[in-house]
């Protein structure tokens, strides 16, 4: 499955000549940055022939706020609350990825209970991210409001859990180097277990709502197809890659945390179209529910944070580390270089939604403008992470 640049270039593309542009056959439209379906401030310069997309240039940077540079001047701990703001739907997984890379950098052990809590929170994050994605996707397809409200209702229950544990619904700032900040009480665990137990009922309903629906099928099947070769060569990760049938999940490949102790399957797609990407989320939610149930069974008592880690004046040894996790949107990694000082020398984020967005043009060519919305929605982007 090796793909070189030549094969990519040889892939079929409709010719766009300067002539057709000058003669007015192509219409250039600037979609966004203020567009309800771009999930934030994202612009696409689209060249249209009738309704068909012939060219698409994404324009990023409207939400750029210097995250990486701030990370170089803030202390190691000081960057933790900023990571919440990357992908503001999944602050728990962002925290985990950052904590993981600092732990790698400084060689910090994490207590067992903290690892279990992290897995519980990461899987809850996956549930609420996928739920809201499906709601938004249906919204983009024209099912205004109703499915999104159902999705948000379920998401709210999970956010309530986050709030009662960490103090904030979305900006959790929960993980610390070597553990977690607050211990989960038995009542919290019981509540979380109850929420997870009734969650599959909602997944069933959502599936009924979308799976057989003729409109959804017409709008999504064979729309925005990605081949496995293209996805691999462009560095796509997460549900989008697995929808093309590539079995790659960092939870299995890297086995970070205690994931090797859990039994779960990786759902795989076949066609790499929008419908597969949609179904990938439904199936992943079911797997996450399974992981959560195992985690609630196994979670041990004990400390939640490594007492050796200093809160103030934390200085990891000289070196570099790349920690990565399977965030709901794909592989989220933090690359840190330490020069022994209180703040990192280099702080780099590998955001999944930014890299998944890079093949937007390949997915959209030849489809209509209305399909662009659906394709963009199925990539699952959050502009806070794309622009950083």
Interface residue list for other proteins (CB under 8 A): 74-75, 77-82, 146, 150, 153, 156-157, 160, 163-168, 171, 173, 181-182, 198, 205, 208-217, 311-312
Q: Name the nearest CA neighbour of 239 among 255, 254, 257, 226.
A: 226
CA dist list (Å): 253 to 210, 224, 238, 249: 31, 27, 12, 6
Distance of alpha carbon 257 from alpha carbon 255, whole angstroms: 6
Map tokens 């960057």 to a residue: 79
CB of 176 to other proteins, least distance (A): 8
Asked if 155 and 116 touch (Cβ cutoff 8 Å), the reply is no
DSSP string, 148-168: HHHHHHHHHHHHHHHHHHHS-
Element (H, E) at 52: strand 52-59
CB of 164 to other proteins, least distance (A): 4
Instruction: Please give the radius of gyration of the chain, using alpha carbons only, rounded to the nearest integer.
Output: 21
H-type alpha helices, 265-359: 274-298, 352-357
Considering the complex, state which of residue 5 and residue 313 has its C-beta at the smaller distance from other proteins: 313
What does the block give as tokens for 150?
Answer: 């159902």
Q: What is the DSSP letter of 343?
A: S
213 contacts: CB under 8 Å, gap ≥ 6: none
CB of 231 to other proteins, least distance (A): 29
CB of 288 to other proteins, least distance (A): 19
- What is the number of residues in the chain? 388
Considering the complex, state which of residue 211 and residue 253 has its C-beta at the smaller distance from other proteins: 211
CB of 311 to other proteins, least distance (A): 6
Distance of alpha carbon 289 from alpha carbon 216, whole angstroms: 25
Considering the complex, state which of residue 217 and residue 318 has its C-beta at the smaller distance from other proteins: 217
CB of 283 to other proteins, least distance (A): 19
CB of 232 to other proteins, least distance (A): 33
Cα three-residue angle 58-60-61, rounded to 5 degrees = 165
Sheet holding 319-327, edge to edge: 319-327, 330-338, 346-350
Considering the complex, state which of residue 175 and residue 363 has its C-beta at the smaller distance from other proteins: 175
Considering the complex, state which of residue 77 and residue 228 has its C-beta at the smaller distance from other proteins: 77
CB of 218 to other proteins, least distance (A): 10
Considering the complex, state which of residue 173 and residue 385 has its C-beta at the smaller distance from other proteins: 173
Asked if 374 and 220 touch (Cβ cutoff 8 Å), the reply is yes
CB of 357 to other proteins, least distance (A): 26
Asked if 41 and 33 touch (Cβ cutoff 8 Å), the reply is yes
What does the block give as tokens for 337?
Answer: 């270089």
What dihedral do alpha carbons 96, 102, 108, 111 form, nearest 10°?
-10
CB of 102 to other proteins, least distance (A): 15
Paired with 47 in beta bridges are 28, 55
Considering the complex, state which of residue 143 and residue 381 has its C-beta at the smaller distance from other proteins: 143
Considering the complex, state which of residue 242 and residue 281 has its C-beta at the smaller distance from other proteins: 281
Paired with 348 in beta bridges are 335
């Amino acid at each position: 499955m090796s793909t070189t640049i030549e094969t990519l270039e040889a892939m079929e593309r409709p010719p766009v000549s300067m002539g057709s542009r000058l003669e007015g056959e192509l219409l250039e439209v600037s979609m966004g940055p203020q567009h309800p379906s771009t999930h934030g401030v994202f612009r696409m310069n689209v060249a249209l022939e009738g309704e068909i997309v012939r060219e698409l240039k994404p324009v990023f940077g409207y939400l750029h706020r210097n995250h990486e540079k701030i990370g170089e001047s803030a202390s190691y701990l000081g960057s933790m609350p900023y990571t919440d703001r990357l992908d503001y739907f999944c602050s728990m997984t962002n925290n985990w990825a950052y904590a993981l890379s600092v732990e790698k950098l400084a060689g910090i052990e994490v207590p067992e209970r903290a690892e279990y809590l992290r897995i519980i929170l990461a899987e809850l994050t996956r549930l609420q991210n996928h739920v809201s994605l499906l709601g938004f996707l249906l919204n983009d397809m024209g099912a205004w409001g109703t499915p999104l409200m159902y999705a948000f209702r379920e998401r709210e229950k999970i956010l309530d859990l986050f709030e009662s544990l960490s103090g904030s619904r979305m900006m959790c700032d929960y993980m610390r180097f070597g553990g977690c900040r607050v211990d989960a009480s038995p009542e919290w665990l019981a509540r979380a277990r109850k929420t997870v137990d009734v969650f599959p009922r909602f997944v069933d309903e959502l599936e009924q709502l979308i799976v057989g629906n003729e409109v959804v099928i017409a709008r999504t099947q064979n729309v925005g197809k990605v081949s496995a070769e293209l996805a691999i060569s462009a560095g796509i990760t997460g549900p989008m890659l697995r929808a093309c049938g590539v079995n790659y999940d960092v939870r299995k490949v890297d086995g970070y945390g205690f994931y090797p102790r859990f039994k779960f399957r990786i759902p795989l797609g076949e066609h790499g179209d929008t419908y597969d990407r949609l179904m990938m989320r439904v199936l992943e939610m079911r797997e996450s529910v399974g992981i959560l149930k195992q985690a609630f069974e196994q979670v041990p008592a004990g400390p939640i944070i490594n007492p050796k880690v200093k809160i103030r004046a934390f200085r990891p040894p000289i070196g570099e580390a790349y920690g990565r996790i399977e965030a709901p949107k794909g592989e989220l990694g933090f690359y840190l270089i330490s020069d022994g000082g209180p703040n990192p020398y280099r702080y780099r984020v590998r955001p999944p939604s930014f890299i998944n967005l890079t093949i937007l043009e390949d997915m959209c060519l030849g489809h209509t403008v209305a399909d662009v919305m659906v394709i963009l929605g199925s990539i699952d982007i959050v502009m806070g992470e794309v622009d950083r």
